[in-house]
Structures are given as C-alpha cells and as structure tokens.
Amino acid sequence: MIKQRDAEDELPESEELYEKLSMVVARGQEPLRIDKFLMTRIEGATRNKIQQGIENELVLVNEKPVKNNYKIKGGDRIIIYDSNSPESSEIIPQNIPLDIVYEDDDLFIINKPVGMVVHPGSGNPDGTLINAIAYYLKTNCPALDENELPRFGLVHRIDKNTSGLIVMAKTQKAMSDLAKQFFNHTVHRRYTALVWGDFEQEEGTIVAHVGRHLRFRKLFTAYPDGDHGKDAITHYKVLERFNYVTLVECRLETGRTHQIRVHMQYIGHPLFSDEFYGGNRIVKGTIYTKYKQFVENCFAICPRQALHAKELGFIHPTTKLPVLFKSDPPEDMALLIEKWRRYSQFKNAEG
C-alpha cells in the first residue's frame, strides 16, 4: 500500500506507480540464486519482497521471467519493475459510489470524478478512490488478500481535479502485466483539454523533461535541456478553435505528474482555469467589461483545470487482445466547451 503523503505537496514524479531498474551481471560473477544476488544489489530490499516480485514476473532476466531458484551468470541482463510508492498504513474501506464503466475477473475501469484524490495522504487521509476501491473489493471479492494485491490494484493515477478513466487490477497477475505496459509506454491514453490561445499548427509534439520546480515544490516545471526531471513527450492535435481558447486532444507518450499541464504552460497555452500553472486568469483577449465577465462566468462553471482523461486502451492481461475505453467530459467541462463554442460563433458572426 501507499505511504501516507500529502496529496498535493509530495506527489510522485510519475503518474505510473512503478519504476524500472536494470543491470548487467559482471562477467566474472559466480553462479548465484537471483533472489540472493538482488538482495546485495538493491538497497532496502527484503528477500520476501524480491521473491514476490520474481513470482509475479516483475523481474526479467534476458527479457524473460525466471524462478526464484534461477542462478544468475556473467552477462545476464536483469530488469526489475519496482513500485516507487512506499507502503502505507492501513487503508480504511469506505462506501463511496464508484462509476465503474467495465469490469471482469482481472480488472475494472473507473470514471473518476472531479475532486476525488486517487490515494490517501496526510492532507487527504480518506475519501479517496483507494478507500472506495477497498470497500468495493472487500464487499464483492471477500476472498481477496490485500497483501497479495498492493494498493488494491492501483497501477497509475490522475490528478485530483482531472476527471476521467483509470484502470484498477483485481489480481496480482493483471497488476504486474498492466504495470509493465504503463512503464513501457504502450498504453493508449488520450485527454481532452481546453487551453488558452490559438495554435499556428493543427498538431504538434512537445518534448521537454518534467520535474519539480526547484523553488516551489508543489509545482512541476519543464526542463527543455534535460538538466532536471524526467523525459516527457506529449503529442497534441487541435479539435476546435474558439478564438481565445482552443480545444485540443493530448496523447501521452510518457506519464509524468502534471505532464499535460506543464507542457501546455511551457508552450504558452496553459490549461483553462488551471490555478497552478497560470490558467486561472485572462491570458488571451482584450480585457473589457463584457469579455471579463464572460471569462469569469466560465471560471465559475469549471473552477478546475479543464482536463479530462477520455480514452484508455491496453492489451488485456489475460485475453492478450487490445481493449479501448472512452468517456465523455463531465458536465462542468461540457458546459464550458459549449459556452466558448457559442461565444466564438457569435464573435465570428459579428466580425
């Protein structure tokens, strides 16, 4: 489970909750059981955790799963998929309604509402998606051992005030498989965003590392020279133009925390109503009384970053077939988009 943390102050560096460690065994290494070998190479690791990782196929040798009694040899290439979220104190199951759009024996897809934090932290000890999931699984899957399914199947996250699709695993096998897909950037993720300004091009790609701001630790920022943070790539496409704001589709190639919000700010198009990254003020348009009132009304309709996780696709862990799920933006964002659409049509008719 996840260590108690402040959901805003101490966000993980990535939306994916796993990281990849890799190493090559020295040529002179004598044969040694892999669990014993990794015990001497991974700081703070326990033999039990390493053995569980091997059993759950989160440890690969030469790109293939192995058994705990496998003996490593010189030249072996070892890859470990390890959780970058520390274990937490007890999660309290809470009967919170969930919008489950799909469910089978391996996983389920949830449409997360605006305002719901994904996992508990010191600032949000309960009322989170994980609290709701814990209750749901204990009620509907009483045989489930939470110790065999860390974080109740959570493999990725989206921001508190971002709405949309998130996948949860129901078995360790599904969790391991999905974690690897997220880390290897093979998961299909598309977001709808309303951003400030107009674009010269119909589509483009933003490449800039994303990491914590060096002074303001609550914020993340773009590092185009790659001197800080982690690599991040966002592809965008214009869907509709509304004069002063634009509706875009963003496709994530990587999954860094606040990636779309940071990347859009970096290219001068902060997300509409995003208070963290400058989108909660008038960025484009001549400020006169009627326009100012219109924008303030828009802020009131959608008082959060206008971002929705609309598509989520991956290879099903059991069937090995591609699956794709879609979700329409919630009411606040849908009303916001329609309000800007009508305003743009009126301005264009005027002009």
- Asked whether the beta carbons of 59 and 80 are under 8 A apart, the reply is yes
Strand partners, 238: 248
Q: Is 159 a catalytic residue?
A: yes
CA separation for the pair 78, 60 (Å, rounded): 6
User: Cα 212 vs. chain centroid, distance in angstroms?
Assistant: 16
Kindly name the residue from 159, 177, 274, 332 that is annotated as catalytic: 159
44 Cβ contact list (under 8 Å, min separation 6): none
Query: Which SS3 state, helix, strand or coil, does residue 247 take?
Result: strand
SS percent in the chain: helix, strand, coil, step 5: 25, 30, 45
CA separation for the pair 2, 155 (Å, rounded): 11
Burial class of residue 219, CB neighbours in 10 A (0-12, 13-18, 19+): middle
Q: Among residues 120, 84, 116, 91, which one has the least CA distance to residue 255?
A: 84
- Quick one: tokens of 85? 């979220």
Angle separating helix axes 331-350 and 289-301, nearest 10 degrees: 160
Q: Which of the residues are catalytic?
A: 159
